[in-house]
Amino acid sequence: MNIEKLIRAAQEIEKPELVLKNGKILNVFTGEIVSGDVAVTDGYIVGIGQYSGQKEVELDGKYVVPGFVNAHLHVESSMVTPQVYSMEELKHGTTTIITDPHEIANVGGMTALYDIIKAAGASPVNYFIMLPSCVPSTPFEHSGAELSAEQLELFRNEPGVLGLGEMMNAVGVVGLDENVIAKIKAFSDMVIDGHAPMMSGKQLNAYACAGIATDHESITFDEALEKLRCGIAVLVRDGSASKNLEAVIKGVVEKNIDTSNLAFCTDDKHLGDIVKEGTIRYNIQQAIALGLPAVKAYQIATINAARIYGLKHIGAVACGYRADMVVLDDLEKVSVTQVYKDGVPLCEIPEPVQIQFRSELLNSVRYAPLPENAFEIPVRDEYSVIGLVKNQIVTKHIKMTHEEVMQGLRDGSVRKLAVIERHHETGYHSCAYVKGYGLKHGAVGTTVAHDSHNIIVLGDNDEDMFRAVEELKRINGGYTIVCGGKVVDSLPMPLGGLMSLSGAQEFIPRFDDFIELAYSMGVDKDIDPFITLSFIALPVIPELRLTDCGLFDVIRFSFTDKEQGGNT
C-alpha cells in the first residue's frame, strides 16, 4: 500500500485511477445506502463522494457493495484445484475466502500444505488459510499423515495464514488432551476455528475457555444461540450437503438477535452448485427471503466475517479498504452485474495459471490386498445401522434385527458399507450396514472420505464392491459406479484422490452427468450421492460413523462392540 499515493488521490491532488460514477453505495458501518461515486487508486478505495477519474464507469444508480467473504470452506470439496475454484467464487462476488486445507493435509501432510500455500499465492481472490488442527481428525482412523503442534508452527508466518483451523477434536479440548492443548497454545495469539456439533452446557463453556473463536456446525437456532452467548462467532453454513442457514436465520429473525457475530460460509460445496448458485451470494439471497433485512445480510457476508478474522482493509466500500466490490442491479435479489477485485473488473482478470503439484500427491491410492471375505458381516440378532438423514451430514444410530436388515437388503433400503485404509497399506478395513441411501443394484465408491480420505464403498453385492475398489486405485482416486461386475463410469480426481486437474468447463458437465447417473441407479433424491457418502467416515459428527478401524459411536465417543465385519 502506497499511503502517500492514496492520500493524494483522495484529495484529487492526483486523479484517481478509476471512478465508479453515480452508484448507490452500501455503508456496512452505518447501515446506510449513500448515493455517489467510488474512487479507486492502486487497488484501494480512496474516496466516496464526487470524483472524476482517469477512467470512469457509469453505474446509473446500480448498487455497490463490498466483495463477499466466505468465512469457512474446504477448497478440496469443490473437487477442483484452488485456481479453478477461486475463479468460480469470484464470478459470483466472493473476493475473500478463508480455507482450511485439512482434507489434502490428511492425505499429504506437510508436502500438501506447502503446495496449497503456493497455490494460494497464485489465486485471483484474497486466499487465507487456517492451518489444519486435526491431522488426523481423531485417533479412531488411519490418515495419510500426522501434523504436530511443532510442525504447524513452521507455517505460522507464511503469507495468508490466519490461525488454527477447525478443532474437530472437541472431546480432546475439554478432556485436556496433551497434543490438542499444545496446538491451541501454539496459536493462542491467532484465530482458532471450532467444530462443536451439539456441544452444550459446561462442555461448551470449557470449549470457549480454550480460546475457540468460531463454530460452523450449528444445525438449529437454539444451538447457534447458545454458542453466540458464549462469545463464539457462528458461521452460518449452507453448502451442498449441510443446509443449516434456514433454521438459524429464521430464529435470528424471529428473536431479533444481534447479528454482529454471525458470518456466512459454505464449508463443503460442489463446483457445479457454485456455478449455478454462487456461494455467499446464494446465502445472502436465502437470508433476505427469510425476512432478514438486506443490509444485515450484507453485513454478515462482508464486514462481520472480516472482523471475526481480523482482516484489515477488507469487507467494506470505504476509504483505505481494498477495492473489492460487487455491483448489483437489485439489492434484495443479489443480481451481480460486475465484480471488481482490487479495482480490476472481472472481465480483465486472466485465468490463473495452474501450479505443478508434487508427484506423491498425484499417486496417493495405496491399499493392502483385500481378503476374499473382506465385506462379510457376521450374522447377529441385532445390528447397529447407520441411518442417513436427508439433506444433512448427521446420521442416526439405528438398531435393526437380523430379519429387518435382510428385508432392507431385499427392498433396497439397507446397503452394505465398507471403509478401507488407502495410504500406508496397513490392511485395515471395516464393514457395516447403512439405511436410507437407496441404491438399487451395484456399488459406488470414492476416495473422498472426510477427513482421513480412505476408500469408501457401498453396494448390494461383494463382487461389485471389490470391482469399485480396484477401479479407484486404477484412476488414482475419485468416484466410480459399478454394476454387474463392470465399471459403469468413473470420475478421476488424482490430486490426493480429492481433486480433478480439469478446468471448470470440462469438469462440471462430467460431474453433473455422474451425479445423475447415481440418481438413475436409485440413490435417494434427498441424498447427495457422494458428499453424503464422504461424511459417513467422519467420527466427529453424530451419531454413528464407520472408519477403517470400525463402527464408531460419536455420542459415546467410542467404538461399538465388535459386532461388524472387517479386521477390527
In 402-507 the beta strands, taken as DSSP E runs, fall at 414-420, 429-435, 443-446, 455-459, 478-483, 486-492
Q: Pick the closest to residue 292 from 322, 248, 325, 233 (CA basis).
A: 248
Region 502-528: mean pLDDT is 92
- Specify if 499 maps to a domain: yes
Last residue of a domain, one of 278, 308, 338: 308
319 found inside a domain: no
Could you write out the DSSP letters of every residue in 141-170?
A: S--S----HHHHHTTTTSTTEEEEEEE--H
Residues 6+ apart with CB under 8 A from 25: 33, 34, 35, 36, 38, 48, 63, 64, 317
Examine the domain organization and report whether 178 and 304 are in the same domain.
Answer: yes
pLDDT in tens, 252-292: 999 999 999 999 999 988 898 899 999 999 999 999 999 99
Residues 242 and 297 in one domain: yes
Helical spans, DSSP H, in 210-302: 221-229, 245-255, 271-277, 280-289, 294-301
**Mean pLDDT computed over every residue of the chain:** 95
Check whether residue 240 and residue 195 sit in a common domain: yes
Residue pLDDT, tens place only, 201-251: 999 999 999 999 999 999 999 999 999 999 999 999 998 778 899 999 999
Q: Within this chain, do residues 86 and 222 fall inside the same structural domain, yes or no?
A: yes
Choose among 430, 431, 432: nearest CA to 398. 432
The DSSP bridge partners found for residue 551 are 546
* Residue finishing a domain among 61, 80, 97: 61
**In sequence order, what E strands does 100-152 have?**
126-131
Are 113 and 187 within one domain?
A: yes
Same domain, 79 and 164: yes
For residue 299, what is the domain's CATH number? 3.20.20.140
- Which pLDDT value is given to residue 561? 66
Task: Output the pTM of the full model.
Answer: 0.89
Residue 177 scores a pLDDT above 90: yes
Q: How confident is the model at residue 564 (pLDDT cuts 50, 70, 90)?
A: very low
Which domain range does residue 419 map to?
Answer: 362-367+374-559
Task: Taking residues 521-539, report their average pLDDT.
Answer: 90
**Residue 240 within any structural domain of the chain:** yes
Same domain as 285, residue 429: no
Residue 258 burial by Cβ neighbours in a 10 Å radius (0-12, 13-18, 19+): exposed
C-alpha cell at 498: 480429492
CATH number at residue 16: 2.30.40.10
The span from the CA of 384 to the CA of 481, in Å, is: 26
Which of residues 46, 61, 76 is at a domain's end?
61
Does residue 476 lie in a domain region?
yes
If asked whether residues 81 and 171 sit together in one domain, one would say yes
In this structure, is residue 37 part of a structural domain? yes
CB-CB neighbours of 429 under 10 Å: 27
Phi/psi for 12 (5° steps) reads: 60, 25
**Residue 218 shares a structural domain with residue 278:** yes
Contact (CB, 8 A) for 463 and 471: no
Helix (H) / strand (E) containing 537: none
25 & 73 share domain: no
Task: Provide the domain count of the chain.
Answer: 3
Residues 402, 507 within the same domain: yes
Strands 558-559 and 550-553: antiparallel
C-alpha 94/C-alpha 298 separation (Å) is: 12
Q: Quick check: is 349 in a domain? A: no
Q: Which of 106, 134, 178, 80 is nearest to 503 (CA)?
A: 80
Q: Give domain status of residue 327, yes or no.
A: no
pLDDT, residue 568, reads 44
Element (H, E) at 204: helix 201-209
**pLDDT 10s digits, 62-92:** 999 999 999 999 999 899 999 999 999 999 9
Percent of the chain with pLDDT over 90: 88
Residue 391: pLDDT band by 50, 70, 90 thresholds? Answer: confident
Q: What's the length of the chain?
A: 568
Per-residue pLDDT at 567:
55
pLDDT tens digit string along 426-484?
Answer: 999 999 999 999 999 999 999 999 889 999 999 999 999 999 999 999 999 999 999 99
Which residue, chain included where needed, has cell 468460480? 88
Task: Give 97-154 pLDDT, tens digit per residue.
Answer: 999 999 999 999 999 999 999 999 889 999 999 999 999 877 899 999 999 999 999 9
By three-state DSSP, how is residue 473 classified?
A: helix
Is 268 among the domain residues? yes
Separation between Cα atoms, residue 50 and residue 62, nearest integer Å? 16
Residues 486 and 507 in one domain: yes
